[in-house]
Amino acid sequence: MSKPHYDLEHHVKKATGIGDPQCFKGEAGKAKFKVGDKVKVRDISDLFYTRTPMYTRGLEATVVRLVYETPPAEDEAWDNTENVEWMYSVLFKQKDLWPEYSDTFSSDTLETEIPEHGLEPA
């Protein structure tokens, strides 16, 4: 039986005793965005897999936290762990996500994590 072209054991060994995504700490470089930045969610392909919720595409949000460093999910699914990036926690107004959302609750928000490549400056 032939061995796959990727080495899944490499990722497992790297994460053993540390965890995933903790094993990628310090590999993403300088964050593109900082807390308080206004960002827009890019409408990028989700052909294989993505961590970016469809209902957030094209909308503006505010960065509230740099969460952790990790490869993009669509890369990691294929064991490509070389391109590590930041994950951001971003805050949306519920009314922006759901136009029919009641004005009675206009201060309601939703917070979710989105990868750096899924965001652009607003």
Q: Which residues contact 8 (CB under 8 A, 6 or more apart)?
A: 79
**Which pLDDT tens digits describe the chain residue by residue (122 residues)?**
455 555 556 667 777 777 777 889 999 999 999 999 999 999 987 776 678 888 999 999 999 999 999 998 888 777 788 899 999 999 999 999 998 988 888 899 999 999 999 999 99
pTM above 0.85, yes or no: no
Fold of the domain built from segment(s) 8-121: SH3 type barrels. (2.30.30)
Which amino acid type is present at position 26?
G
The secondary structure element, H or E, covering residue 12 is helix 8-15
Beta bridge partners of residue 91, listed in sequence order: 62, 111
The closest of 5, 15, 33 to 89, measured between CA atoms, is 33
Domain boundaries, the chain: 8-121
- If you ran DSSP here, which 8-state letter would residue 95 be given? H
